[in-house]
């Protein structure tokens, strides 16, 4: 046997041994024997560089070479799931699915919600070609070399029958045992401890040294398959196929046909999950049929066919040391409780949100109170109660401040709002810096060469006072500053210059107009096409846009009535930002459905419901959820609900099928 043939043989053997150990949990050789084979392969590969293979088992060791992560767009957006914390919400989800499928039978696949960092893996011809983090849902970081060091992720698939090209999604995790050992090592070196396994896994995966990733012994569970030619039309069956091909799939998965079966699954794992080797924080419920998933579709943020049930928060008792007040980019004042450190849900908690003055008053908080802290779905835990029995007689009552802690401006509280605000948005430092930080963020202008610390430095040095000032910066202004070099300065200037290509809807979101989030910004951009048209829109013009109510419309009008905001827009125009829809975005738009309100019902063949909704919006129509006398027509697929059909006939509403609708848009 030649050395080249031995390399091929060793790779095949080591892939099999890796599968036996990490997936089947049934090793057939000792660790020492495995290491011996690995060293032999490494030596032979060093002798024969012409035999290099990016999916060799030796890639598990990692490299000491640093690397920058490039960003990659997801073929299928990685949306987050809607969260729920009660069985009543689970019932509501179940009934929404029933209604959305219009009486068609369905199954729910219940599985563990692992608390790690999401990953998307692409396989071509049975080999791992790319691994991308969730990022902002539309694009993430290419961490392929780091992921190849994780033994439970197959580099080469086993068996046969897998699609030529497909994607597997899952969660990268740090087991509790590894997490605790890592923190002991960091403590001994007097390094900051990781807060929880999720943060440790996420930080490790983004390490620029893949040998560090290899040493951290990360694990992974894969839970969703996407592609054009999947082996089955059900989620559960695809997971069974995935396991045969070498993917680590959770066995804590069950198909449920009734609500009672779902509740039984939740109750069982609420207790048993504490015995698992990795962190979990809930249950994921998914409609099993992929066809039914497509018909149910998506909201702007999450799929309608899945939901995450979060386990009830753990509670801890600790002492309230003080309350501090923070100013956000909108001027909202957030009170934060500073606590004696306490362990809660795998995390050391030192702060808790108090939200607003009403919450403080309702809790009747005093300094040095013993307080109950919970951590549910929020990043910052919250205080849910006070042990008044242990209160000192001379303790000081917590009162809400009357003036901005940053600029001294008297605070205001708007009618119907719970929060207090600092109205000094033009010269209150946290508001100015907060708006700039929002502007440069990944979901907005994505100027990733800048961060909060750099924004603070530039602001303190008088280089920027608003977002338009970014576009007048020069490299010579930057590289003389503390902690800044010529390379950093050039990267920042290039990042700012590249942001001029960001499309109009994201620029609109980046401006930080109150109540204008990503989804609203997209709708406004499609409706008005340019910043000039939007700035001149009346209240009536605005509220006729889908999902724009009087609250959002009033906020937009207030923004453009401010002379400093109008001046800012003119400066951004002069800088060359995209403040109107591009020709590419305008293509395919028409007014064929202008002024029409359309209801979608039934199961479709040619496109999903979400695709039809997008077509309606692109052609000037409005999607509505229920039938009324104002409905223009119903776009109906198969199995239209009998109640909707009856109401349509009663009101004389026209029913249009798929083929006629598509002809209408031709």
**CA–CA gap between residue 134 and residue 118 (Å, rounded):** 6
CA nearest 308: which of 273, 289, 281?
A: 281
CA–CA distance from 552 to each of 145, 501, 542, 607 (Å)? 45, 27, 9, 32
Phi-psi region of 559 (alpha: psi -120 to 50; beta: other; left: phi over 0): alpha
Distance from C-alpha of 207 to C-alpha of 524, rounded to nearest angstrom:
39
d(CA 241, CA 83): 28
* Radius of gyration for the alpha carbons in the chain, expressed in angstroms and rounded: 28
For residue 68, count CB atoms less than 10 angstroms from its CB and return exposed for 0-12, middle for 13-18, buried for 19 or more.
exposed
CA dihedral 361, 362, 368, 374 (to 10 degrees): -130
C-alpha atoms less than 13 angstroms from C-alpha of 276 in its C-beta half-sphere: 23
Give the list of residues 6+ apart from residue 459 with CB closer than 8 angstroms, or none. Answer: 429, 432, 433, 436, 465
Catalytic residue among 47, 113, 433, 500: 113
Backbone angles phi, psi at 427, to 5 degrees: -140, 15
Sequence-separated contacts (24+) of 2-8 with Cβ below 8 Å? 3/44, 3/47, 3/48, 4/48, 4/51, 6/44, 7/41, 7/44, 7/45, 7/48, 7/51
Please state, in angstroms and rounded to a whole number, the distance separating the CA atoms of residues 405 and 335: 11
* Distance (Å, whole) CA 101 – CA 265: 23
Q: How far apart are CA 493 and CA 482, in angstroms?
A: 17
In 3D space, the residue among 566, 582, 332, 580 whose CA is nearest the CA of residue 468 turns out to be 566
Give residue for tokens 């003119």: 570
C-alpha distances out from residue 238 to 124, 227, 244, 246, 290, Å: 17, 11, 10, 13, 10
Question: b/e map of 491-524 (b: 16 or more CB within 10 Å)?
Answer: bbbebbeebeebebbbbbbbbbbeebebebbbbb
Annotated catalytic residue 382: no
Angle at 351 between CA 345 and CA 353, to 5 degrees: 95
> CA 292 to CA 235: how far, in whole Å?
11
User: Three-class SS of residue 541?
Assistant: helix
- Which tokens is 651 given? 């009101």
**Is the Cβ–Cβ distance between 118 and 147 less than 8 Å?**
no
Residues 6+ apart with CB under 8 A from 145: 59, 62, 63, 67, 210
Residue with tokens 């108090």: 354
Residues identified as active-site: 113
């Amino acid at each position: 046997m030649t050395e080249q043939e031995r390399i091929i043989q060793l790779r095949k053997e080591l892939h099999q041994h890796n599968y036996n150990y990490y997936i089947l949990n049934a090793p057939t050789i000792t660790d020492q024997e495995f290491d011996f084979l690995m060293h032999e392969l490494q030596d032979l590969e060093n002798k024969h560089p012409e035999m290099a293979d990016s999916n060799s088992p030796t890639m598990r060791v990692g490299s000491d070479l640093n690397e920058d992560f490039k960003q990659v767009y997801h073929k299928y957006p990685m949306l987050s799931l809607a969260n729920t914390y009660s069985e009543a919400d689970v019932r509501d989800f179940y009934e929404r699915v029933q209604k959305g499928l219009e009486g068609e039978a369905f199954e729910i696949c219940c599985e563990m919600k692992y608390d790690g960092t999401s990953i998307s893996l692409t396989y071509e011809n049975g080999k791992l070609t790319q691994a991308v983090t969730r990022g902002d849902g539309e694009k993430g970081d290419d961490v392929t070399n780091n992921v190849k060091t994780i033994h439970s992720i197959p580099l080469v698939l086993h068996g046969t029958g897998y699609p030529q090209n497909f994607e597997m999604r899952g969660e990268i995790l740090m087991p509790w045992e590894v997490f605790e050992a890592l923190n002991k090592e960091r403590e001994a070196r007097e390094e900051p401890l990781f807060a929880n396994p999720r943060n440790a896994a996420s930080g490790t995966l983004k390490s620029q040294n893949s040998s560090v990733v290899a040493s951290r012994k990360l694990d992974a569970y894969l839970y969703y398959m996407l592609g054009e030619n999947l082996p089955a039309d059900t989620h559960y069956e695809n997971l069974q196929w995935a396991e045969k091909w070498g993917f680590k799939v959770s066995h804590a998965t069950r198909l449920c046909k009734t609500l009672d079966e779902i509740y039984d699954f939740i109750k069982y794992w609420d207790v048993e999950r504490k015995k698992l080797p990795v962190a979990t924080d809930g249950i994921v419920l998914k409609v099993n049929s992929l066809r039914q998933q497509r018909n149910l579709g998506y909201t702007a943020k999450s799929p309608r066919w899945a939901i995450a049930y979060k386990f009830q928060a753990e509670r801890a008792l600790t002492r309230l040391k003080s309350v501090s007040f923070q100013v956000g980019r909108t001027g909202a004042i957030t009170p934060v409780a500073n606590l004696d450190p306490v362990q809660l849900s795998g995390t050391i908690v030192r702060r808790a949100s108090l939200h607003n003055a009403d919450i403080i008053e309702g809790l009747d908080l005093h300094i040095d109170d013993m307080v109950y802290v919970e951590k549910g779905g929020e990043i910052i835990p919250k205080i849910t109660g006070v042990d008044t029995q242990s209160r000192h007689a001379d303790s000081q009552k917590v009162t809400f401040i009357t003036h901005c802690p940053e600029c001294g401006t008297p605070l205001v509280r708007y009618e119907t709002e719970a929060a207090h605000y600092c109205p000094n948005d033009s010269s209150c430092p946290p508001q100015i810096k907060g708006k700039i930080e929002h502007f440069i963020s990944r979901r907005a202008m994505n100027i990733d060469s800048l961060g909060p610390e750099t924004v603070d430095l530039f602001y303190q040095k008088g280089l920027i006072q608003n977002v338009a000032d970014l576009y007048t910066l020069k490299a010579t202004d930057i590289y003389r500053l503390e902690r800044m070099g010529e390379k950093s300065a050039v990267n920042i200037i290039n990042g700012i210059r590249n942001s001029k290509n960001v499309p109009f809807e994201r620029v609109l979101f980046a401006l930080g107009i109150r109540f204008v989030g990503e989804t609203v910004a997209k709708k406004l951009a499609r409706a008005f096409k340019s910043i000039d048209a939007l700035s001149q829109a009346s209240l009536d013009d605005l509220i006729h846009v889908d999902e724009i109510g009087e609250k959002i419309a009033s906020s937009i009008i207030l923004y453009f009535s401010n002379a400093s905001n109008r001046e800012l827009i003119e400066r951004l125009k002069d800088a060359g930002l995209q403040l109107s829809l591009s020709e590419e975005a305008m293509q395919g738009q028409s007014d064929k459905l202008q002024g029409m309100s359309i209801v979608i019902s039934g199961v479709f063949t040619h496109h999903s419901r979400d695709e039809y909704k997008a077509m309606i919006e692109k052609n000037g129509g409005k999607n509505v959820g229920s039938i009324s006398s104002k409905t223009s027509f119903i776009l109906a697929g198969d199995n239209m609900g009998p109640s909707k059909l009856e109401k349509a006939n009663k009101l004389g509403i026209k029913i249009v099928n798929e083929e006629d609708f598509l002809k209408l848009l031709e």
